[in-house]
Amino acid sequence: ASVRRYTPLKIVGDGSFGTVTLCDWHGPLPPNTPLPAMQRSAGARQEYAGKRLVAIKRMKKPWEGGWDECKKLKELESLRRIPYHPNIIPLYDFFLLPETKELYFVFESMEGNLYQLIKTRKGGRNFAGGLVSSIFRQVVSGLDHIHACGYFHRDLKPENLLVTTTGLYHYRSLSPQATDDTPPESDVVVIVKLADFGLARETKSRPPYTEYVSTRWYRAPEVLLKSKDYSNPVDMWALGTIMAEVVNLRPLFPGNNELDQIAKICELLGDPSDYGKDDRGKSYGGGPWQKGVKMARSQGFSFPKVCAATRTNRYAC
């Protein structure tokens, strides 16, 4: 195997399964690999000039079985099978150190993640409507791509959406009250890419799946109710909760535990009962969900009787 040469610059992430380090890469990369946006933008840091930045993830588990064991790793499998997409973090290289049995992934480097970007606005002004729309389009585009390729992510959260800001832009106001004379909203331009496919699974793979997936605040109700038979819709639930957080700058359902998480969901959507239709002909809250009621009953749990909140934050009944 060829020797990989790089200079570690700083640790940018440390999780249960791996540590991510920003590095200056000295070896070859796949053909036509561009410089990362964080080095090409007008606000690129001078300290990175002349470097070839990558993010290297070192898996904490030693792979004593060598490549035969590594090839079974779901993260590696999904990253190798899903074709390139501008809103999915690309895998440039991967290698196993024979002495330590440590597995390394080499990715495109990004400035940070969506959680950090949201944190910069807390107590300050909200994101421009056009920027919210841009973030939504990019995440949806990346999700649609992995779903079309036969995978679902299972761990979608702000920390797993990597971002790089590339300058400022004057966004057209998206307010319903906006007129032709409404001034544009100035805000940053953000590139968003889906990352961390450690929990990704093939849509056609057969359950049961692990019941504990995703951070609790972004976990779909069926997963909270211990279902082991779920698929792409869990990613769509997470997407909805993330976008609400982007708009409001605070988590939508910040549950302290799984029961509290369900209670907070019911406070907004109501329990899975039929409370009729609103003035748009839409069901109040989430509408009836008999399968969910059955799953809850099998766990010895019953939903709290809570009416759904209306658009004016009042109750529908």
* pLDDT tens-place string over residues 37-80: 999 887 788 999 999 999 999 998 888 888 888 887 878 888 88
Residue 10 has pLDDT above 70, yes or no: yes
Q: In the predicted model, what is the mean pLDDT of residues 192-213?
A: 65
pLDDT value of position 263: 86
For residue 207 the two structure tokens come to 């359950």
Per the prediction, the chain carries an average pLDDT of: 86
| pLDDT confidence of residue 306 | 77
Q: Is the pTM of this model over 0.75?
A: yes
Structure tokens that stand for 243 in this block: 């976008």
Whether 265 and 251 have beta carbons less than 8 Å apart is answered as no
Beta bridge partners of 241: none
Domains and CATH numbers, the chain: 6-108 (3.30.200.20), 112-261 (1.10.510.10), 262-317 (no CATH)
% of the chain at pLDDT higher than 90: 49
Rounded alpha-carbon distances, angstroms, from residue 117 to 65, 245, 316: 39, 11, 35
**Dist CA 233 CA 199 (whole Å):** 15
The phi, psi pair for 222, rounded to 5°, reads -65, -30
**What's the rounded Cα separation, in Å, for the pair 106 and 95?**
9
Burial zone of 26 (CB within 10 Å; 0-12 exposed, 13-18 middle, 19+ buried):
exposed
What's the pLDDT score for residue 201? 63
User: How many percent of the chain have pLDDT more than 70?
Assistant: 90
Measured distance CA(40)–CA(61) in Å, rounded = 34
Active-site residue numbers? 155
How many CA atoms, within 13 angstroms, populate the side-chain half-sphere of residue 107? Answer: 27
Least confident of 178-182, 216-220, 240-244, 284-288: 284-288
